[in-house]
């Protein structure tokens, strides 16, 4: 580097001549424009912007100029270097974009390749449907009660006003245990209701009892000896049949949609009095298939109604057997089979599909129903 020289004339320094600076700048700009990839651009950068590049060298010469000349020379070199830096950055962006475009195209894959690497699982619709029902009732304030599947006859029959001669207590309907007295596979979850009443020191009792039950039927397209039931029991002061009806209406609306209601028809069950059979408006045709052969409904067989199960006001005799004063308290109850409801809600055509555990049946139901 030259030493500062007060008599130094910048015009006399070759490298700092204005035309020379312009030339260096233009050379750099041309080199960047000529670079066709990032490697070439890098080489051009070293050549034209590096420490040994002519503009860098020219910049150093400025220090040797007399103070009066420094400002002008510095301004000239600075402007040239600024233009070079800017051109480099612009070209770099261009070339990077080109490279990215090329490389990402090269990296492309067929995203339609099938990927069944992780196994799919699923929960049984009987489980998830029962859960759905429980959610409806727990949201209303009910508890979910459970009990044993092998049950004492007193809890399964006697306490429910099904005396020793009730026809349901025959081997036609009930599985009895060998060498046992008064112990059966429960034929309904009503025993759990009795247990709930016995466990409560005093009503109110509001419980829903889901669970497996057993009847000695052979398995066929519409029957299974092992099936799932949901039963409800409410015992409180002043409960009425209107409350039963309202609760049923709420349930079917929750499960089948706005505007679906129930209908009660008189029936007979020993554990309820008055008793009723409950139907719901067909959620598929909403009754429009009735008497309308052009629009048949296979869900309700064009009846407009779907049979759900039995219900009624808890027979006061049941309350007495549980030590509850029937003059103070009343209650309502209902029960139905989950399989049946699953069948009509999801068009299951054969009961065997529900019980056989074929994964093709269960998978489409996923995690919730």
The DSSP result for 53-113, as a single string, is SHHHHHHHHGGGS-HHHHHHHHHHHHHHHHHHHHHHHHHHHHHHHHHHHHHHHHT---TTS
Q: Does 259 sit near another protein (CB under 8 A)? A: no
Query: For 248, which DSSP code?
Result: H
Q: Of these, 47, 83, 200, 226, which contacts another protein (CB under 8 A)?
A: 226
Kindly tell me which of 193 and 247 has the beta carbon lying closer to another protein.
Answer: 247
Q: Does 255 sit near another protein (CB under 8 A)? A: no
CA 368 – CA 125 distance, rounded (Å):
8
Q: Of these, 72, 83, 132, 176, which contacts another protein (CB under 8 A)?
A: 176
Q: Does 180 sit near another protein (CB under 8 A)? A: yes
CB atoms within 10 A of CB 164: 9
Kindly tell me which of 104 and 118 has the beta carbon lying closer to another protein.
Answer: 118
**Nearest distance, CB of residue 314 and another protein, angstroms:** 9
Q: Does 69 sit near another protein (CB under 8 A)? A: no
CB 270 within 8 A of CB 188: no
Q: Does 123 sit near another protein (CB under 8 A)? A: yes
Q: Of these, 241, 255, 284, 290, which contacts another protein (CB under 8 A)?
A: 241
**Nearest distance, CB of residue 245 and another protein, angstroms:** 5
User: Among 49-57, 75-83, 230-238, 341-349, which window interacts with another protein (CB under 8 A)?
Assistant: 230-238
Q: Does 357 sit near another protein (CB under 8 A)? A: yes
Q: Looking at residues 202 to 221 of the shown chain, list those that interact with another protein (rule: CB under 8 A).
A: 204, 206, 212, 216, 218-219
CB atoms within 10 A of CB 272: 24
Question: Which region, left, alpha or beta, applies to residue 42 given φ > 0 means left and ψ of -120 to 50 means alpha?
Answer: alpha
CB 332 within 8 A of CB 243: yes
Q: Does 138 sit near another protein (CB under 8 A)? A: yes
Q: Of these, 53, 161, 196, 302, which contacts another protein (CB under 8 A)?
A: 161
Q: Does 352 sit near another protein (CB under 8 A)? A: no
From residue 25, how far is each of 29, 50, 76, 80 by CA, in Å? 6, 13, 11, 6
# binding residues, another protein (CB under 8 A): 102
Q: Of these, 268, 328, 349, 350, which contacts another protein (CB under 8 A)?
A: 268
Q: Of these, 263, 286, 290, 299, which contacts another protein (CB under 8 A)?
A: 263
From residue 72, how far is each of 1, 23, 62, 266, 359 by CA, in Å? 19, 18, 9, 110, 86
Q: Of these, 182, 254, 284, 299, which contacts another protein (CB under 8 A)?
A: 182
CA 1 – CA 318 distance, rounded (Å):
113
Q: Of these, 50, 63, 246, 296, which contacts another protein (CB under 8 A)?
A: 246
Q: Does 267 sit near another protein (CB under 8 A)? A: yes
Q: Which residues contact 349 (CB under 8 A, 6 or more apart)?
A: 221, 343
Q: Looking at residues 23 to 62 of the shown chain, list those that interact with another protein (rule: CB under 8 A).
A: none
Kindly tell me which of 28 and 282 has the beta carbon lying closer to another protein.
Answer: 282
Binding mask 319-338 for another protein (x = CB under 8 A): -xxxxx-----x--------
CB 338 within 8 A of CB 207: no
User: Among 52-60, 98-106, 151-159, 280-288, which window interacts with another protein (CB under 8 A)?
Assistant: 151-159
CA 189 – CA 173 distance, rounded (Å):
15
CB 123 within 8 A of CB 151: no
CA 305 – CA 369 distance, rounded (Å):
23
Kindly tell me which of 57 and 139 has the beta carbon lying closer to another protein.
Answer: 139
Q: Of these, 51, 104, 258, 266, which contacts another protein (CB under 8 A)?
A: 266
């Amino acid at each position: 580097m030259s030493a500062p020289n007060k008599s130094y004339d910048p015009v006399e320094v070759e490298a700092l001549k204005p035309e020379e600076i312009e030339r260096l700048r233009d050379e750099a700009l041309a080199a960047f424009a000529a670079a066709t990839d990032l490697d070439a651009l890098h080489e051009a950068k070293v050549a034209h912007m590096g420490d040994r590049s002519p503009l860098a060298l020219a910049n150093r010469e400025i220090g040797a100029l007399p103070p009066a000349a420094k400002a002008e020379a510095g301004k000239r070199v600075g402007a040239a270097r600024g233009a070079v830096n800017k051109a480099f950055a612009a070209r770099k962006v261009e070339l990077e974009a080109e490279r990215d475009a090329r490389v990402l195209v090269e990296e492309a894959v067929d995203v339609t390749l099938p990927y069944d690497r992780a196994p799919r699982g699923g929960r049984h619709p009987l489980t998830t449907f029962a859960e759905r029902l429980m959610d409806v009732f727990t949201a209303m304030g009910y508890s979910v009660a459970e009990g044993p599947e092998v049950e004492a006859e007193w809890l399964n029959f006697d306490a429910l006003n099904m005396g020793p001669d009730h026809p349901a207590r025959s081997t036609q309907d009930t599985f009895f245990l060998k060498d046992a007295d008064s112990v059966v596979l429960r034929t309904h979850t009503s025993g759990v209701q009795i247990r709930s009443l016995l466990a409560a020191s005093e009503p109110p009792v509001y419980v829903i009892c889901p669970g497996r039950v057993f009847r000695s039927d052979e398995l066929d397209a519409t029957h299974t000896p092992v099936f799932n039931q949901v039963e409800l029991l409410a015992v409180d002061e002043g409960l009425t049949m209107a409350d039963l009806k309202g609760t049923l209406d709420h349930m079917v609306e929750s499960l089948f949609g706005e505007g679906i209601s129930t209908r009660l028809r008189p029936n007979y069950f020993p554990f309820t009095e008055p008793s009723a059979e409950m139907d719901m408006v067909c959620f598929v045709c909403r009754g429009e298939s009735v008497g309308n052969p052009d629009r048949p409904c296979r869900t309700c067989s064009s009846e407009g109604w779907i049979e759900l199960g039995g219900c009624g006001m808890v027979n006061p005799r049941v309350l007495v057997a549980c030590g509850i004063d029937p003059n103070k308290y009343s209650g309502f109850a209902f029960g139905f089979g989950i399989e049946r409801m699953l069948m009509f809600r999801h068009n299951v055509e054969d009961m065997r599909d529900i019980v056989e555990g074929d994964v093709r049946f269960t998978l489409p139901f996923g995690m919730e129903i």
